[in-house]
Structure 1
């Protein structure tokens, strides 16, 4: 089995008690979150060895995140604490369909201070599946660290996975650095995007041309989600489409992270690393089966509030599959 290593931000989602335009007192409940941390937890809950690399503040929220990750089986020996900045917070509001808006208390934040010298010794001694996202590109120093880490992972024979996970209000003036985000995508063999992220990143390029550029750069598989709509899977010369199971969304906070976590868990169980990924991608049926599992992971997650707390176990996936069949 190939271990999963996720790098980036761990933060606390302060989830509003309100749905949509509901009135009355509003309270916020803390849930452990952060996109790459969610993916590490998603893999661990599915029985895959996973590790999280990142930095949190030496404060109550940082301790809360570490405890939560450990409770779900994630190796946190690569998590660094600092007194130089606080743990990031995200205040999360939801509309009546569970879709979210975020108000981030970042920067400053501890996760932005992680540097290559904080990497544990031997972390890339053996090939792994290394997962990254664009939230660790929003400042120059952390972007340099992230891109250098991706290069180290590639040199080690690891399979690099990137989820764009764009949060425009984390970037200076709300403007994503498209060049920087695209550079990270092109470091990966597996890329996950939402339909909206494709539109944000492609600029003036037609969608098919932009996707072809990513595949020409070395990306083997591009997976595009669209909320409850069909998932598109692109590889050189072929496109597949998989329909996720219908569910009623309560909180979409970790839906995409559950999806990519489920897909990475399938790859990890198959022992796939960079050397084996091209061969794995040649089998359309295998891809469809793996993406179907990922869809069930995402569908389960959006039916529950919070991030870690909503991520499915194997038993949860079996229950969802049985209910959809009925």
Structure 2
């Protein structure tokens, strides 16, 4: 198998103890709200997801030299992630996200970022020879929210492609991280078009395509060089698209408790399957034309996502192979 390298933000999810609070609830009737820290951050979650599934993974990013940065570094290492590409800084704090959940486990985020340490990562912080061997580089749009980190992210993707690595991108839009309160469509699309594998939700697809017909927008991404696109819809069917390829996969039915890591568990599971497959066929193989492999990989990814949403937090909710074996279809 080949390794997965994830770049971007690692942050602490402060998960609220309140579940399903109604808008009209009087404050005096509510129990005290307690926030429990969980290690998180979408790219970091993906690195952990791959490691827990037995695939070598590495996280690249910057953490504050503070209590929460130490916590995240320990958690990443404890789950088997290579943290030799993690840089510590005193110039900014580790990012926090305060997470509230409704009765169905769906969450909303209040981010304490910027400023944050992860936004200060630059190309000079890359470990020597990081892309010297075949690997999958995984990225998200949250490292596009400021000009300097966007330049780092786009340049890193280009470096990985030139080195012969495969690039994976999860749109993972968090509009409240952007200065204008909405993701910059042109910049996000530029990152998406540099991917080999692209994952986005139906909501993200609708936002990014704006007034373009869905099929035409997806065709433009494939024409730009994207080899496979997976479109998730919460508990609904996952759509897999490629050139001359379209499949639908239904996830297992589960009772969601916290959806924080559902999408990251999904893409982590998909990348783990791809990393193992590429170890057999080679990174230059026609993996994207193998409809049977892709369907099986998406089925595994769906099982990973389903498992994760039944547990609170991110890292701790990500499944092992044994967890997947116990999950009912």
Give the shorter-chain TM-score range. Answer: over 0.9
- Is 1:316 paired with 2:323? yes
1:76 and 1:281 mapped to 2: Cα distance? 30
- Is 1:18 paired with 2:18? yes
- Is 1:192 paired with 2:199? yes
* Superposition TM-score, scaled by structure 1 size: 0.97
| 1:26-65 map, 5 Å | 26-65=33-72
1:163 and 1:152 mapped to 2: Cα distance? 18
Kept in 1: contact 2:252–2:306 (CA 8 A): yes
- Equivalent residue number for residue 179 of structure 2: 172
Q: Tell me which moved more, 22-31 or 161-170.
A: 22-31
Kept in 2: contact 1:159–1:273 (CA 8 A): no
2:141 and 2:185 mapped to 1: Cα distance? 10
Query: SS of the counterpart of 1:317?
Result: helix
Query: SS of the counterpart of 1:66?
Result: helix
Query: SS of the counterpart of 1:63?
Result: helix
Q: CA deviation at 1:238?
A: 2.3
Q: CA deviation at 1:277?
A: 5.8
Kept in 1: contact 2:245–2:291 (CA 8 A): no
- Is 1:6 paired with 2:6? yes
- Is 1:144 paired with 2:151? yes
1:155 and 1:283 mapped to 2: Cα distance? 24
Query: SS of the counterpart of 2:212?
Result: coil
Kept in 1: contact 2:195–2:226 (CA 8 A): yes
Q: CA deviation at 1:173?
A: 2.1
The equivalent position to 2:98 in structure 1, one of 84, 91, 114, is 91
1:199 and 1:173 mapped to 2: Cα distance? 19
- Equivalent residue number for residue 224 of structure 1: 231
- Equivalent residue number for residue 104 of structure 1: 111
- Equivalent residue number for residue 25 of structure 2: none
Where structure 2 has 5 or more consecutive residues not aligned to the other structure, the ranges are: 23-29
Q: Deviations over 1:148-178 (max 9, x none)?
A: 0000000011010000000000001212110
Query: SS of the counterpart of 2:257?
Result: coil
Q: Tell me which moved more, 73-82 or 280-289.
A: 280-289
Where structure 1 has 5 or more consecutive residues not aligned to the other structure, the ranges are: none
Q: CA deviation at 1:284?
A: 1.4
* Superposition TM-score, scaled by structure 2 size: 0.96
2:245 and 2:48 mapped to 1: Cα distance? 32
Q: CA deviation at 1:287?
A: 1.0
2:294 and 2:277 mapped to 1: Cα distance? 12
Kept in 2: contact 1:160–1:274 (CA 8 A): no
Q: Give the number of aligned pairs.
A: 322
Query: SS of the counterpart of 2:237?
Result: strand
